[in-house]
């Protein structure tokens, strides 16, 4: 499935990515395929490797990569490939174990955390934890599932650098994404 996604992203967005260097796309990848050569081969064959700096590989925190995967992440980081630890919940030790072993460019904060930002609780305790992590690292934090201006404001105040969610747009097809972007309807 991952290889099909790589081929599809390349077919639908490859030329547009080359023409829009400030844009990037995220691709979810199961950690068990990292370091086995298939993903690199698929990216090269499809042409997506040409815009590797505009692709963020997202690996869920629920699947800890093995030694081959860790090596692949760290080598990829050295050559400019951006890898994100996805679905971060800050629960248990999996986050820290994976973060300590891998050179991630970003962490993607799970929607379950963002849902805790409410009028009754505008600054949950976890925001301080993430702020401390960001202050002590070069990580970028991306909030997933942002649905309100209040959530966005709380995240920005905590130093979260990027966000995605229904507040910005519902999922849309590629042609609509390109039109959305061309209209300048992006929030920087």
Handedness of CA 161, 109, 79, 22 (dihedral sign): negative
Residue 158 is classified by DSSP as T
Residue spans per domain, the chain: 1-95, 110-180
Structural tokens at position 120? 């009754």
DSSP state of 133: H
Compute the residue count for the chain.
188
Please tell me the pTM assigned to this model: 0.87
pLDDT by residue, tens only, the chain of 188 residues: 888 999 999 999 999 999 999 998 999 988 888 888 887 888 889 988 899 889 999 987 667 778 888 888 888 877 778 899 998 888 765 566 677 778 889 999 999 999 999 999 999 999 998 999 899 988 999 999 999 999 999 999 999 999 999 999 899 999 999 998 888 755 54
Dihedrals phi, psi of 32, to nearest 5 degrees: -70, -15
């Amino acid at each position: 499935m991952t290889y099909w996604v790589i081929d599809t992203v390349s077919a639908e967005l490859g030329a547009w990515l080359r023409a829009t260097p400030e844009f990037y796309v995220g691709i979810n990848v199961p950690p068990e395929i990292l370091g086995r050569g298939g993903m690199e081969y698929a990216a090269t064959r499809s042409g997506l490797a040409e815009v590797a700096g505009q692709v963020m590989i997202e690996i869920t925190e629920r699947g800890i990569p093995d030694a081959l995967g860790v090596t692949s992440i760290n080598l990829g980081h050295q050559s400019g490939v951006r890898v994100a630890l996805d679905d971060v919940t800050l629960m248990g030790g999996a986050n820290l174990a994976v973060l300590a072993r891998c050179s991630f460019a970003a962490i993607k904060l799970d929607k379950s955390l963002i849902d805790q930002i409410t009028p009754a609780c505008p600054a949950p305790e976890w925001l301080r934890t993430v702020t401390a992590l960001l202050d002590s690292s070069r990580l970028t934090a991306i909030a997933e599932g942002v649905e309100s201006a209040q959530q966005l404001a709380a995240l920005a105040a905590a130093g979260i650098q990027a966000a995605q969610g229904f507040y910005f747009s519902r999922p849309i097809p590629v042609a609509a994404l390109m039109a959305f972007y061309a209209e300048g309807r992006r929030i920087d």
